[in-house]
């Protein structure tokens, strides 16, 4: 059995390519790296890699992680600037004996030393988003500058039973310089153990980190839960906990897959989508919906939804 699951519709092209690779016997490391790179390279996805939205100083600072579920090796970068594929830097860091998590200038030095591609990640389109958001926030104090943070997070299983997890994000739009979210934090943004399965998160990093939610899902799967049961329990319990203790809970959407290729997804927001492909299921985008009793269910995205998604992502932007 092989499979790959990812947060958001934006992962579809990447997981489609990864599924082709997995089918031909590629390993979980190469397949997941390729899938994440494809999201990082597509300039119209505005919260990952090239085209990602900048921090409040109009600089694109990126976070990424890579985990090998066999050895439990982890590599992470935080607040790295001007490199095309943070996930590949994270992968190389996961192969180092120590110094596995580098941030800022240190991460950039490492990337330079190892010949990674330098690239100005700030696009004209992202600059327009920035200016428009600054204007909207100034005009209307109710608007939240931080809204909109769609991290790509994935879990992958290859035919040999090896598993990986990886993430990549530009983090919260208008974040402070140097802010690092959950995405490169082991157990929060991602976790994988090939003996069990893996999980990955998208949402408000500050809250995901409070609950180490990806690790919690893997722990529950280890106790015997199906990935869906584990996601439901971890996300619902922690959402409730945050509401009781803090009055509110930030956005949290988690995806998981076990080492049999079974998967699960739970979110506490409207409008979450995810993409999955396994030996048994062609690459598919699902939308997460809620019925009148608040119960979550999945719907395969219609062609109309898919067409509209790409149209809105690529529509010309005008500076206000």
Interface residue list for ligand GLY (CB under 6 A)? 149, 151, 169, 171-172, 181-183, 202-205
| H or E segment to which residue 206 belongs | helix 205-211
**Contact predicate 181/200, CB 8 Å:** no
CB of 182: closest distance to ligand GLY in angstroms?
Answer: 5
Q: Which is nearer to ligand GLY, 108 or 182 (CB)?
A: 182
CB of 151: closest distance to ligand GLY in angstroms?
Answer: 4
CB of 12: closest distance to ligand GLY in angstroms?
Answer: 19
Among all residues, which ones are annotated catalytic? 151
**CA gap 101, 77 in Å, rounded:** 6
**Cα 109 to Cα 34, 115, 116, 118, 167, distances in angstroms:** 23, 10, 10, 11, 21
Q: Which is nearer to ligand GLY, 153 or 227 (CB)?
A: 153
Q: What SS3 state is found at 86?
A: helix
Q: Which is nearer to ligand GLY, 33 or 182 (CB)?
A: 182
What residues contact residue 179 under an 8 Å CB cut-off, 6+ apart? 55, 61, 79, 171, 172
CB of 292: closest distance to ligand GLY in angstroms?
Answer: 30
Name the residue among 78, 94, 98, 97 with its Cα closest to residue 86: 78
Q: Which is nearer to ligand GLY, 202 or 296 (CB)?
A: 202
Shortest Cβ contact with ligand GLY: which residue? 181
**Contact predicate 149/76, CB 8 Å:** no
């Amino acid at each position: 059995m092989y499979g790959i699951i990812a947060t958001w519709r934006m992962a579809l092209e990447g997981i489609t390519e990864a599924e082709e690779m997995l089918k031909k016997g590629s390993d979980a490391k190469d397949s997941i790296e390729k899938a994440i790179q494809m999201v990082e390279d597509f300039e119209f996805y505005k919260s990952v890699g090239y085209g990602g939205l900048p921090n409040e100083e109009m600089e694109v600072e990126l976070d990424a992680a890579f985990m090998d579920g066999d050895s439990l090796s982890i590599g992470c970068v935080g607040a790295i600037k001007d490199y095309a594929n943070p996930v590949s830097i994270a992968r190389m860091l996961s192969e180092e004996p120590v110094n596995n998590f580098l941030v800022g200038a240190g991460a950039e030095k490492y990337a330079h030393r190892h010949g990674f591609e330098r690239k100005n990640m700030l696009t004209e389109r992202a600059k327009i988003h920035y200016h428009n958001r600054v204007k909207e926030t100034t005009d209307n104090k109710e608007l939240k500058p931080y809204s909109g943070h769609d991290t790509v997070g994935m879990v992958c299983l290859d035919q040999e039973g090896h598993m990986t997890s990886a993430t990549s994000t530009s983090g919260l739009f208008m974040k402070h310089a140097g802010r690092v979210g959950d995405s490169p934090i082991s157990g929060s943004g991602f976790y994988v153990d090939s003996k069990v399965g893996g999980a990955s998160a998208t949402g408000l990093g500050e809250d995901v980190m409070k609950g180490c939610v990806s690790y919690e899902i893997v722990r529950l799967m280890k106790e015997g839960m199906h990935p869906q049961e584990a996601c439901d329990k971890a996300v619902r319990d922690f959402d409730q906990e945050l509401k009781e203790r803090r009055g509110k809970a930030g956005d949290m959407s988690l995806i998981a897959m076990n080492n049999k290729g079974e998967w699960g997804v739970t979110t506490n927001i409207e409008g979450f989508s995810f993409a999955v492909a396994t030996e048994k299921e062609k690459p598919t985008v699902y939308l997460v919906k809620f019925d009148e009793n608040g119960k979550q269910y999945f719907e395969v995205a219609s062609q109309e939804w898919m067409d509209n998604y790409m149209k809105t992502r690529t529509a010309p932007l005008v500076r206000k």
